[in-house]
A and B are shown apart, each in its own frame.
Chain A
Amino acid sequence: MISLDHVGKVYQSRTGETWAVGDISLDIEDGQFVTIVGPSGCGKSTILNLVAGFLPPTSGHVRVDGKEVAGELPDSLGYIFQKDTLLPWYSVRRNVELGLRFHGMSMAEMQRRVDDLLALAHLTGSADAYPHQLSGGMRRRVALCMSLAVEPRILLLDEPFGALDTHTKTHLHRELLEIWRALKQTVIMVTHDLDEAITLSDRVVVLSGPPSCVLLDEAIAIPHPRDVFELRQTDAFTRHFTSIWSVLGQQFKATA
């Protein structure tokens, strides 16, 4: 369980203060897939940084399993950045092994786990390739595998598919859902793409412009397994889209 209790974050700089996160309270159950959407500058990524302990909150409390995060990295947390975080001098296999090597895992067990992960992410054929030989979508999958290798129970995704084309993105959505259904992590994703948010999540949280607060917290009543290619044409999808967009669209307009 991840809980944000009246969390606020102010960035201080020479030019003044930026009040990014106003007052946010959220409780996220174990195994839930929550997506945070909102206009740019509303502190979506800041919230992930607070949960990961990369930043301390200015006010309020961030707790993971009841333990205060306060600038410390919680156990068993994975974080996928929008930027590429592959090591260019390692092959795909060596990249995925990185976290396991940090943990000093035995070669045999590491081999087995990496093989499983590469198969899960459809990367088996590229195990010996180097990052520069891969497409953008494949690099995203490798980053996901690197993170999943250490079996995090919490996965924070910061606009993970932001730079990809729709086709690649949709394929990755399907794979992410498969992985999530198999491993059942708690996921918090940040995105500006409402289609993506509804397709993937159990719950979509809409934030206001800065200083942000929660405007809408909608449960997505679409049962799993979901067909990511057909989903957009269903009535349920359209209903959720309309209801969330009625709030989010106003925010986009206001902060433009």
Chain B
Amino acid sequence: MTASAGSAPDREAYLRAVRAQARRHRLKVTLWQAAIFIVFIGTWETLTRIPWFVANTIFDPFFISQPSRIALRIWLWLQPGKNSLWPHLALTLEATALGLLVGVGSGFVVGLVLSQNKTLSEVLSPFIVGLNSMPRIAFVPLITMLFGLGLGSKVVTSWFVVFFLVFFNTYKGSVGIEREMLDFCRTLGGNSRQILWRVRIPTAAAWTFASLPNAISFALIGVVLAEFVGSATGMGYLMITSLATLNATDMFAAITVLSIVGVGLVYLVRFVERRVLHWLPEFREN
């Protein structure tokens, strides 16, 4: 085949083949995900309907409910009215968003500052590691006493978890910038403020982004934790009251809603990340 005659249609064909391959790959991934989901839910649903399993194993709907009941409960919750889920979900999400915002913001700034101040970071290091090693659950009653039963204590608990995660990532990213890169920018005439904005912050931000999926999950967990201990609203409150009334369906319905929300938020962040950090090796299109 000659280049002059065949190059244009060849390229079209090549692009079509590449797209078809990408579609096949996506389909394969989706099918596997569906298969895993169906097997999991199917086993749960089936075994909780077989009397022997109900009597002799944990597959007792009294404890673990049943996917069909959970789905029905979520459906009912989604309807407007007295038992609607929406106000609870909204409050939990509001607190999660605020906790994330405060946690990511403060973690990023502190990480960036400490990465540029060796003495300060060495002085604070054991305190930060020590604080991060404390079981957050132990602090929740105290936080609730200090910040009340509403939004405040939820945001603070959430921040307490998210901050460290983001801090450690940002710090590591910023400290890891190569000496040569900074020296090179100095020879180009950059002062430290300019180098901060154009080199240090973007480098650190890539690492901060990498911590966001975890930060989201932990922010959500932090809020639910606070709602467990002291709140009359939110998804955590729904869970704790269903536990108190031994209502497994309510509890699993709440857990399911939370994990769907988590998956949604993480995918949203990945989508943004792919746009913003298109230059990272993992997002290269080949």
Contacts and interface: CB of A to CB of B under 8 A. Distances in A.
A59 B190 CA distance: 29
B187 A73 contact: yes
Interface in A32-81: 52, 54, 73, 77-79, 81
Q: Counting chain B CB atoms within 10 Å of each CB, which of A77, A88, A103 scores highest? A: A88
B279 A146 contact: no
A101 B178 CA distance: 21
A98 interface: yes
B198 A87 contact: yes
Contacts of B189: 99, 102-103, 150
B181 interface: yes
B199 interface: yes
Interface residues of A, number: 26
Nearest to B181: A85
Contacts of A54: 183
A83 B185 contact: no
B187 A79 contact: yes
Given A83-B178, A83-B180, A85-B180, A78 B198 contact: no
A149 B281 CA distance: 28
B61 to A, nearest CB: 53
Q: Counting chain B CB atoms within 10 Å of each CB, which of A102, A131, A147 scores highest? A: A102
Nearest to B277: A89
Contact of A81 (B180, B188, B280): B180
A121 B196 CA distance: 29
A152 interface: yes
B187 A78 contact: yes
B200 to A, nearest CB: 11
Interface string A207-242: 000000000000000000000000000000000000
Contact of B188 (A52, A99, A132): A99
Q: Counting chain A CB atoms within 10 Å of each CB, which of B184, B278, B279, B280 scores highest? A: B184
Contacts of A101: 194, 198
Contact of B187 (A77, A87, A88, A130): A77
Contacts of A52: 183, 187
Contacts of A89: 202, 277, 279
Interface in A137-177: 143, 146-147, 149-150, 152
A55 to B, nearest CB: 11
B11 interface: no
Interface string B161-205: 000000000000000001011011111111100100011001000
Interface of A: 52, 54, 73, 77-79, 81, 83, 85, 87-89, 98-99, 101-103, 130-132, 143, 146-147, 149-150, 152
8 contacts: A78-B187, A81-B180, A87-B198, A99-B189, A102-B188, A102-B194, A130-B278, A143-B184
